[in-house]
A and B are shown apart, each in its own frame.
Chain A
Amino acid sequence: MDIKLKLNGKPICAQIDADTVLLDFLRAQGCYSVKRGCDTSNCGLCTVLMDGKPVLSCSMLAARAGGHSIQTLEGLQEEAADFVGFIADQGADQCGFCNPGFVMNTIALLRENPDPTDDEIRAYLAGNLCRCSGYDGQLRGIRNYVNSRKG
């Protein structure tokens, strides 16, 4: 079947199978930032934005994305670059495999809530697992970024 959607701002048209999962579709489109870490919607590695909302691309049929706007980290480099340096300063990127999903969900968080408390950050990002960092370094990075914006 054919689908039309906006991928990172560009309208695209593609042929897919009815059971193609959005994650696989996006990787086939060259969006390698989208990672698979589990098959049970538990890890958050495959997070992308659909119409601005964070969703798990491993658990969505690509067909449902038809007619919608999908953004991956490839399309949000500048918005991400604005804050990821603060995470790098903590060394909290570590192995990096969870980073794209975590960064995407942080973008969603900061758009929704530009001045989150630590508890709000933890709650919003609870669906993003990280096995390396112990989470606190990620939190410090986001906190430092938010504080830096307050001047």
Chain B
Amino acid sequence: MITIQKYVRAQSLEEAYQLNQNKRNRIVGGMMWLRLGSGGVGTAIDLCDLGLDTIEETDAQFSIGAMVPLRQLELHAGLNAYTGGAVKNAVKDIVGVQFRNMATVGGSIWGRFGFSDVLTMFLAMDCFVELYKGGLVPLEQFAGMKKDNDILVRLIVKKTPGKFIYTAMRNQRTDFPVIACALSQMDGTYRAVIGARPSRAMVIRDEKGLLAQGITESSAKALAEFAANTAPTGSNIRGSAAYRTHLIQVLTERAALELGGM
């Protein structure tokens, strides 16, 4: 169990940032796994007073505060209209309603967890993270960065016209995925995102133009094969590397066919 010396509700991002420069301090998000850690935290820095728990929608983009709980993503009409319900599909099986009322977008993205449905979903979109010091960084780039002492303020999702599909395989309905797969087509380009490999989600683009002639049964299969051959997989208690590779093939193919309206 984590011990915490002090709890501070930051009154400004600057205050939070300054506190976060001390290695013993830590920003708390949804706090979902408080009892799993051991070790000591000096100051727990809470961003809950900074108004970061809202989703702002304009004609051009969604601005999603770091403290927005997953449940809000699930229920957000605009976000789900834009993604055709893919965002809801990505989060609805995460543990339970109570969990999703607490777990935050910022926590999910900042953690860059291998199993993250949220990271997998947003990587399929035209998405940036806004860091307090680092400014806007494409999510894909952020996913590859090491954790530092900056603060993730919000996600910016550009409303680039597109279609999105989210699908995942779970051994039990509310478990972490064995493989998660998000597929998108924006401005004519396709992206497959494979999560829970079990390491961090990776973006696979249709570099070979396999879908250039549109989605057919055979092109969907070709893309799926390409994804399965491209994404490295590993083993853990939820599945072996071989099974994961097999699943990438199956889920990507199905997602592609669904994307193509087949």
Counting chain A residues whose Cβ lies within 8 A of the other chain, the interface size class is 20 to 34
Give per-residue flags for A39-69: 1 if the beta carbon is below 8 A from chain B beta carbons, else 0. Answer: 1111010010000011110111101100000
Partner of A127 from the list B6, B31, B46, B96 (CB cut-off 8 Å) is B96
Expressed in whole angstroms, the minimum distance between the Cβ of A42 and any Cβ of chain B is 6
Expressed in whole angstroms, the minimum distance between the Cβ of A33 and any Cβ of chain B is 15
Bound CA–CA A134/B99 (angstroms):
22
B102 CB contacts on chain A under 8 angstroms: 41, 55-56, 59-60
B4 CB contacts on chain A under 8 angstroms: 17-19, 61
Give the segment of B33-41, B55-63, B182-190, B243-251 that binds chain A.
Answer: B33-41
Give per-residue flags for A1-31: 1 if the beta carbon is below 8 A from chain B beta carbons, else 0. Answer: 1000000000000000111010000000000
Instruction: Say yes or no: is A105 at the interface (Cβ < 8 Å to chain B).
Output: yes
Contacting pair B33 A40 (CB below 8 A): yes
Bound CA–CA A109/B36 (angstroms):
29
Instruction: Say yes or no: is A128 at the interface (Cβ < 8 Å to chain B).
Output: yes
Expressed in whole angstroms, the minimum distance between the Cβ of B116 and any Cβ of chain A is 15
Partner of A47 from the list B2, B35, B98 (CB cut-off 8 Å) is B98
B3 CB contacts on chain A under 8 angstroms: 19
* A18/B31 contact (C-beta < 8 A), A56-B98, A56-B99, A105-B98 known: no
Expressed in whole angstroms, the minimum distance between the Cβ of B48 and any Cβ of chain A is 6
Number of interface residues of B (CB under 8 A): 31
Bound CA–CA A30/B26 (angstroms):
31
Contacting pair A63 B7 (CB below 8 A): yes
Contacting pair A61 B28 (CB below 8 A): yes
* A64/B173 contact (C-beta < 8 A), A18-B44, A19-B2, A54-B98 known: no
* A61/B98 contact (C-beta < 8 A), A1-B7, A21-B34, A39-B35 known: no
Bound CA–CA A10/B32 (angstroms):
27
Contacting pair B174 A61 (CB below 8 A): no
Contacting pair B174 A126 (CB below 8 A): yes
- What residue of chain B has the Cβ atom nearest to residue A56's Cβ? B98
A124 CB contacts on chain B under 8 angstroms: 97
Expressed in whole angstroms, the minimum distance between the Cβ of A61 and any Cβ of chain B is 6
Contacting pair A60 B31 (CB below 8 A): yes
30 A-B Cβ contacts within 8 A? Answer: A18-B6, A18-B44, A19-B2, A39-B36, A41-B95, A44-B98, A53-B71, A53-B101, A54-B97, A54-B98, A54-B101, A55-B102, A56-B32, A56-B98, A59-B30, A59-B32, A59-B33, A60-B31, A60-B102, A64-B46, A105-B97, A123-B92, A124-B97, A125-B96, A126-B93, A126-B173, A127-B96, A127-B98, A127-B99, A127-B174
Q: Which residues of A contact B (CB under 8 A)?
A: 1, 17-19, 21, 39-42, 44, 47, 53-56, 58-61, 63-64, 105, 108, 123-128
Q: Which residues of B contact A (CB under 8 A)?
A: 1-7, 28, 30-36, 41, 44, 46, 48, 71, 92-93, 95-99, 101-102, 173-174
